[in-house]
C-alpha cells in the first residue's frame, strides 16, 4: 500500500472540493471494497477523502411511497432497520446476506454502489426496485447507473448521498453465494408493483442487468413457472452474454439464473 494524504471533511461540499481537480483522490465510506484494493496495490490514490464525519448520510426514512436510505447506512443497519423490514423486507434480506458480520457492520450502501462490483448484491436490488441514486448534484435512475465492469455514471468528483427506493407490493432476492466471500456467483432480485414486474441479475455478467423477457412473462402470470415459459419463448438469457470464472462457466451461470429466479418469485408468493 502506497502512502496517501487522509482527509476527514465535515460536509459533502467539502468532500467534493477535495475531489475536484484531483483524479488521484478516492472517497472512503466503510472501506470494505476500497481497502482490499489498496492492499493489493490495484489502486494508488494520492488522497483518501473519508465521509465518516459528514452528518446526515446515515438516515433511513419513509417519504410517501418511497423509502430513502442514506449512503452511509451500513448493511447491518439496512438489514435490521424496522422501517426497511416493514416497507421493503426483500431489501432487508439482501443486506442481511452480504459478506460476514464485519463486512455488514462496516460496509455501506453508497460505498457498494460506487464500487459497482459485478458480483455485489445491492446492484440487483436497486435495478429490480427501480431505485434512484441521489448524489450531491443530481438523481440517477438505476437503469442508467451501471455502465460497465466496475463502472458507473458517476463523475469523478460526484458523491452519492442517498438512494430512493419505490416501495413495491412484494420483492425477494435469491443468490448462489461464493462459499468464501459470499459474493453472488449469481443473484436474482424480483420486485412486483401494481403495474409491472422488474427482475435484475447480479454476478452473471460484467455488470448487473435486467431480464425484460422474464419481466414480460411475469407481468402476465406471476408464477415460478413463468421462468420456463419465458425461456421457451425466446431464451431469457443467452449464455454467450455471461462471464466464466473459476466459480462457474457461462452455461452454469445461465442455469443458476433460472434457478435463482424461480426461488425469488416463489418467495414473493
> Is residue 208 included in any domain, yes or no?
yes
Q: Are residues 154 and 197 in the same domain?
A: no
Helix (H, G, I), strand (E, B) or coil at 56: coil
Nearest to 131 by CA among 148, 110, 115, 117: 110
CB neighbourhood size of 266 (10 A): 13
Would you call 229 exposed, middle or buried from its count of C-beta atoms within 10 A (0-12, 13-18, 19+)? middle
> Is residue 184 included in any domain, yes or no?
yes
CATH code of the domain covering residue 84 = 3.30.465.10
Q: pLDDT for 64-111, tens place per residue?
A: 999 999 999 999 999 999 999 999 999 999 999 999 999 999 999 999
| Residue 232 pLDDT grade (very low, low, confident, very high; cuts 50, 70, 90) | very low
> Is residue 55 included in any domain, yes or no?
no
Q: Are residues 162 and 64 in the same domain?
A: yes
Inter-residue contact 133 to 139 (CB < 8 Å) = yes
Mean pLDDT of 7-17: 97
CATH code of the domain covering residue 17 = 3.30.43.10
Q: Are residues 102 and 186 in the same domain?
A: no
CB neighbourhood size of 249 (10 A): 14
Q: Are residues 64 and 105 in the same domain?
A: yes
CATH code of the domain covering residue 256 = 3.30.390.50
pLDDT value at 172 more than 90: yes
Q: Are residues 78 and 152 in the same domain?
A: yes
> What was the pLDDT predicted at 174?
98
Q: Are residues 199 and 153 in the same domain?
A: no
Q: Are residues 162 and 217 in the same domain?
A: no
When the pLDDT of each residue in the chain is averaged and rounded to a whole number, the result is 93
Winning range, highest mean pLDDT, from 27-36, 38-47, 115-124: 115-124
CB neighbourhood size of 202 (10 A): 31
> What was the pLDDT predicted at 52?
94
Domain boundary among 117, 138, 166: 166
| Residue 235 pLDDT grade (very low, low, confident, very high; cuts 50, 70, 90) | low
Mean pLDDT of 53-60: 96
Helix (H, G, I), strand (E, B) or coil at 225: coil
> What was the pLDDT predicted at 219?
92
Q: Are residues 46 and 67 in the same domain?
A: no
Grid cell, residue 200, equals: 435484475
Ramachandran quadrant class, 99 (left: phi over 0; alpha: psi -120 to 50; beta: rest): left
Q: Which domain holds residue 43?
A: 5-50
Q: Report H helices in 59-141.
A: 75-80, 82-87, 89-96, 101-106, 109-115, 122-128
> Is residue 100 included in any domain, yes or no?
yes
> Is residue 136 included in any domain, yes or no?
yes
User: pTM above 0.75?
Assistant: yes
> What was the pLDDT predicted at 40?
85
- CB contact set of 155 (below 8 Å; sequence gap of 6+): none
Nearest to 3 by CA among 44, 34, 43: 44
Q: Are residues 122 and 217 in the same domain?
A: no
What single-letter DSSP state applies at residue 167?
P
Q: pLDDT for 101-122, tens place per residue?
A: 999 999 999 999 999 999 999 9
Q: Are residues 64 and 138 in the same domain?
A: yes
| Residue 195 pLDDT grade (very low, low, confident, very high; cuts 50, 70, 90) | confident
> What was the pLDDT predicted at 41?
84
> What was the pLDDT predicted at 234?
45
> What was the pLDDT predicted at 238?
63
Q: Are residues 82 and 114 in the same domain?
A: yes
Q: Are residues 40 and 70 in the same domain?
A: no
How many structural domains comprise the chain?
3
Q: How many helices (H) and strands (E) does the chain have?
A: 12, 14
- CB contact set of 223 (below 8 Å; sequence gap of 6+): 265, 269
- Helix (H) or strand (E) segment spanning residue 16: helix 12-19
Amino acid at each position: 500500500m502506497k502512502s496517501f494524504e487522509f482527509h476527514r471533511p465535515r460536509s459533502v461540499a467539502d468532500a467534493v472540493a477535495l475531489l475536484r481537480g484531483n483524479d488521484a483522490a478516492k472517497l472512503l465510506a466503510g472501506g470494505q471494497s476500497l481497502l482490499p484494493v489498496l492492499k493489493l496495490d490495484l489502486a494508488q490514490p494520492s488522497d483518501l477523502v473519508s465521509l465518516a464525519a459528514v452528518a446526515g448520510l446515515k438516515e433511513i426514512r419513509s417519504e410517501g411511497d418511497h423509502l430513502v436510505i442514506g449512503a452511509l447506512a451500513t448493511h447491518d443497519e439496512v438489514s435490521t432497520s424496522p422501517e426497511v423490514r416493514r416497507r421493503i423486507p426483500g431489501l432487508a434480506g439482501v443486506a442481511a446476506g452480504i459478506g460476514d458480520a464485519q463486512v455488514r457492520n462496516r460496509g455501506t450502501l453508497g460505498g457498494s454502489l460506487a464500487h459497482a462490483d459485478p458480483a455485489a448484491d445491492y446492484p440487483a436490488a436497486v435495478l429490480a426496485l427501480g431505485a434512484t441514486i441521489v448524489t450531491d448534484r443530481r438523481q440517477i435512475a438505476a437503469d442508467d447507473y451501471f455502465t460497465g465492469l466496475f463502472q458507473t455514471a458517476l463523475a469523478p468528483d460526484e458523491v452519492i448521498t442517498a438512494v430512493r427506493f419505490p416501495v413495491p407490493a412484494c420483492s425477494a432476492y435469491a443468490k448462489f453465494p461464493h462459499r468464501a466471500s459470499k459474493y453472488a456467483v449469481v443473484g436474482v432480485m424480483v420486485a412486483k408493483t401494481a403495474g409491472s414486474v422488474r427482475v435484475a441479475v447480479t454476478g452473471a455478467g460484467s455488470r448487473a442487468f435486467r431480464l425484460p423477457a422474464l419481466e414480460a412473462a411475469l407481468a402476465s402470470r406471476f408464477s415460478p413457472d413463468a421462468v420456463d415459459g419465458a425461456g421457451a419463448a425466446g431464451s431469457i438469457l443467452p449464455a454467450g452474454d455471461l462471464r466464466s470464472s473459476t466459480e462457474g462457466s457461462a452455461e452454469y451461470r445461465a442455469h443458476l439464473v433460472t434457478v435463482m429466479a424461480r426461488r425469488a418469485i416463489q418467495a414473493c408468493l
